[in-house]
């Protein structure tokens, strides 16, 4: 739906999910609010508690676009799949917005020095830390176990962007019995491209895996992705070495 937005970002050379950098705004402001409010406890200065209140107001303002971009990234990179860290992040984001709204109401009424306001600063802090942790889980868990050589980097990038959330290290978080690693769809490029373009289940039931038609992954990118997948996951776990063979990958259909 927002492909034009992501296409534009790629055009200007920005390849990361735009949600990640924006998260620093609410996170920083919540951390600032907590520090200011805690300092107010010891220094007995009402202006510090007031400053904490302003931080929470700004955190709430920035939480809105941050959450919206998070939802867009989730749709774009994971096709809206309910992977576990996403569920936790959505729950924590809802909790955070409620906490921030409560904090803003309290502060608005001049209760920024109250204990409940301090509790809200603390709880918001834990909520943003949790959000950061599970965001890291999404970005880092699929990290490739061995960095690919130059030859496979383009394919590895596509894999990390579009596949690794559900297939970390060639596995399958939804159905462990159907990993990419060792899959029969790696035997032949055309078969691979046709499966990834129109995933199907062997029993005909609706697939969980989203389709990646050429508008999403071009034919050239599909080839790069295939070469990487064969290099990294052709052999089942515990099989023979997956190290690059001197003759290159077989079936690379150049």
- Report the nearest approach of ligand HEC to the CB of residue 90 (Å): 16
Task: Give the chain's radius of gyration (CA, Å).
Answer: 23
172 forms part of the interface with ligand HEC (CB under 6 A): yes
- Report the nearest approach of ligand HEC to the CB of residue 178 (Å): 4
79 forms part of the interface with ligand HEC (CB under 6 A): yes
Residue 216 neighbours by CB distance under 10 Å? 16
- Report the nearest approach of ligand HEC to the CB of residue 69 (Å): 19
Please report, for residues 134, 142, 153, 183, 192, the alpha-carbon distance to residue 176 in angstroms, rounded to integers and kept in the order given: 21, 15, 26, 12, 19
CA distance 148 to 243: 9
Among 22, 29, 51, 166, binds ligand HEC (CB under 6 A): 166
End-to-end CA distance of the chain: 33
230 forms part of the interface with ligand HEC (CB under 6 A): no
Does residue 225 contact residue 173 with C-beta atoms inside 8 Å?
Answer: no
Contact pattern for ligand HEC over residues 189 through 218, marking x by CB under 6 A: ------xx--x-x-----xxxx-x------
Among 178, 191, 235, 242, binds ligand HEC (CB under 6 A): 178
Closest to ligand HEC by CB, 50 vs 185, is: 185
Residue 94 neighbours by CB distance under 10 Å? 12
Which residues have C-beta within 8 Å of that of residue 23, sequence separation ≥ 6? Answer: 66, 70, 131, 132, 135
Closest to ligand HEC by CB, 6 vs 54, is: 6
Closest to ligand HEC by CB, 113 vs 234, is: 234
Q: How far is CA 196 from the centre of its chain?
A: 21
175 forms part of the interface with ligand HEC (CB under 6 A): yes
Does residue 59 contact residue 29 with C-beta atoms inside 8 Å?
Answer: yes
Closest to ligand HEC by CB, 104 vs 249, is: 249
184 forms part of the interface with ligand HEC (CB under 6 A): yes
- Report the nearest approach of ligand HEC to the CB of residue 107 (Å): 41
- Going by C-alpha positions, the residue among 13, 135, 9 that lies closest to residue 70 is 135
CA distance 195 to 118: 54
162 forms part of the interface with ligand HEC (CB under 6 A): yes
CA distance 183 to 186: 6
167 forms part of the interface with ligand HEC (CB under 6 A): yes
Q: By rule CB under 6 A, what count of residues binds ligand HEC?
A: 27
Contact pattern for ligand HEC over residues 87 through 126, marking x by CB under 6 A: ----------------------------------------
Give the footprint of ligand HEC on this chain (CB under 6 A). 78-79, 81, 162-163, 165-167, 172, 174-175, 178, 180, 183-185, 195-196, 199, 201, 207-210, 212, 225, 229
């Amino acid at each position: 739906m927002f492909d034009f937005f992501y296409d534009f970002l790629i055009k200007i050379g920005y390849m990361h999910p735009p949600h990640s950098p924006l998260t620093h705004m609410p996170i920083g402001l919540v951390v600032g609010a907590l520090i200011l409010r805690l300092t107010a406890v010891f220094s007995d200065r009402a202006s510090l508690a007031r400053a904490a209140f302003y931080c929470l107001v700004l955190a709430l303002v920035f939480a809105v676009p941050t959450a919206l971009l998070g939802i867009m990234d989730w749709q774009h990179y994971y096709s809206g799949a309910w992977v576990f860290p996403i569920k936790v992040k959505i729950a924590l984001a809802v909790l955070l917005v409620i906490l921030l709204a409560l904090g803003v109401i309290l502060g608005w009424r001049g209760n920024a020095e109250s204990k409940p306001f301090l509790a809200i600063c603390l709880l918001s802090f834990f909520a943003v830390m949790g959000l950061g942790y599970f965001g890291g889980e999404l970005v880092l868990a699929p990290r490739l176990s061995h960095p690919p050589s130059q030859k496979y980097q383009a394919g590895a990038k596509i894999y990390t962007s579009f596949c690794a959330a559900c297939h970390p290290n060639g596995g399958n978080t939804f159905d462990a019995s159907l990993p990419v690693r060792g899959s029969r769809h790696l035997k032949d490029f055309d078969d691979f491209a046709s499966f990834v373009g129109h995933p199907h289940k062997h029993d005909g039931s609706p697939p969980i895996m989203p389709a990646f038609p050429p508008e999403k992954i071009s034919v050239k990118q599909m080839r790069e992705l295939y070469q990487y997948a064969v290099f990294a996951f052709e052999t089942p776990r515990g099989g023979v070495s997956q190290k690059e063979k001197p003759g290159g990958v077989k079936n690379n259909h150049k």
